[in-house]
Amino acid sequence: MYGWIWRHLPGNTPAKALAALALVAAVSALLLFVVFPWIEPSLPFTNVTITP
């Protein structure tokens, strides 16, 4: 999969590396600001109970 992405990015090696870095940053931002806040209410981490 990564090879497919690398082959389809335009430009020479430094341009491809910069584009790949931008792609990783965009996917990370999408996950951090959209996906994780949307899914967080259905996760069981807020119902933590500690019994002695």
Domain residue spans of the chain: 2-40
For the chain, the distance separating the N- and C-terminal CA atoms, rounded to the nearest angstrom, is 48
Decide if 49 contacts 41 (C-beta within 8 A): no
User: Which structure tokens are listed for 25?
Assistant: 């940053």
What local confidence, expressed as pLDDT, does residue 33 receive? 97
User: Residues 31, 32, 38, 43: what is their CA dihedral angle, to the nearest 10 degrees?
Assistant: 100
Q: Measured between alpha carbons, how far is 46 from 37 in angstroms, rounded to an integer?
A: 13
What local confidence, expressed as pLDDT, does residue 23 receive? 94
Tokens 């209410």: give the residue.
41
User: Which pLDDT tens digit goes with each residue over 1-52?
Assistant: 788 888 999 999 999 999 999 999 999 999 999 999 999 888 877 667 777 7
